[in-house]
Amino acid sequence: MGGRMRNLWHLLLSVQPSRALVDEKFSVRVQNALPAQWLTVHALLHSEDGDDWEAFGHYVTDAGGDVNVTKDPSLGGTYVGVEPMGLLWSQRPVPGSRPGLRFTKRDVQTPTQVRLSVYQGHQSEGFMDRAVLASVMVERWYMAPGVRRVNITEGGVTGTLFLPPGPGPFPGLLDLWGGGGLVEYRSALLASHGFASLTLNYLKPVQVKNEYFEDAYRVLQQHSQVCRRRIGLVGLSSGSSMALRTIYSNVIQPRCLVCLSATHVQPVGGTIADFFYKIEENLKKSHYNEENQLIGRNVLLPMPTDTSKKVDVGRLQCPLLLVVGEDDQSWPASESADDMREMMERAGNSHLLTVLSYPRTGHLIEPPYSPHCRASKFNAPTISPNKFMILWGGEVAPHSHAQEDAWRKMLDFLRENLYCSAD
């Protein structure tokens, strides 16, 4: 027993790289343990909201006393099998946390710090009360070194512009989030990959006119470090709806559109306020499940045949990438994608359409290795004065794998259409 304990005291935990962008993979290794030793590798982060999140895998060391998380399977825990990044994407609130949590990063100028630790045996709870055999802190960043963050308040437009390192000019992106106000982390990460990305605050009541998006497009187009003829739009949820409606603009002429969890169902020619009014008007079609979580995907169903009630994607003249979660419980993303494909086939522009459709994937399709959120508390004052629980959908592992695949293909799509295409 004495030799056994002495060997554990020499155990080594290493993570490479220990400082990286959030979409970069890392390798985690445990060395110098005993052969066939049962160990738990645990990840813990403390969020900006003051909540603790954790993930853990159960491993058995090889004949040399090592565990390589990149190659070796987890036999249990928050993920199973060979999952190199499971310690990040399977993170969940620790037991006893507040209900309805969703992990978000607000201050993109600081890293998310994750402490990885090794424990003896296969543990599943009470980590704070157990002896740690080895531990290391890892930093995960949305902003690469040299990326610049610029507040935008021009001509009534409010947002944040992220510029890649160097003099530019760079391809530009107008980044339209869904709910939640000004959300910066996706734009910061896109800038880390070479795109000048303007995340736009567009949900305030004074900013509901259609011209607001045209003004934002001009701000981006006229920036000295942006290629004015190489600008695309990226949207999520209602942000995708706003991106699709720009088809009718004479000002916004994007090179490409990326729409995640999108629907084209909305009053054509209406304002943003009209769009949300239509949703409120149809809320009677929504329902709550047995866990008192709102399921909203039926609000815009069935697909209308009246062309005045949906964007005419047959008019689209640039490549469109649709990213669809087939278990989206908030938005009729699958039905919308099918209808948009049919509309574009009839119009003869379906060659511009690419659809990435993922089984058992929900509404909140985030950058890779982000913790999956199946349901969370949501603030929608027009629906309820209080926060309520909304079901987004998806299953942890399939949803997380979809996020990784979709992000890689989205970056390829943006590079192809904003970097490689001829003027």
Active site residues: 237, 328, 363
CA dihedral 394, 397, 398, 402 (to 10 degrees): 100
Any idea which residue has 């995708």 for tokens? Answer: 240
Task: Return the structure tokens found at 248.
Answer: 């009718």
The DSSP string of 349-408 is -GGGEEEEEETT--S---STTPPP-SEEEE--TTT-SS-EEEE----HHHHHHHHHHHHH
Looking from the CA of 29 toward its CB, the CA atoms found within 13 Å total 11
Distance of CA 245 to the CA centre of its chain: 22
Alpha-helical (H) ranges within 252-332 are 272-281
- Torsions phi, psi of 64, nearest 5? -95, 0
Contact 202, 237 (CB under 8 A): no
Backbone φ/ψ region at 374: left (φ over 0), alpha (ψ -120 to 50), beta:
alpha
Contact 275, 348 (CB under 8 A): no
Contact 174, 196 (CB under 8 A): no
- Per DSSP, the three-state class of 317 is coil
Task: Return the structure tokens found at 399.
Answer: 């949803």
Beta strands 388-391 and 375-378 are antiparallel
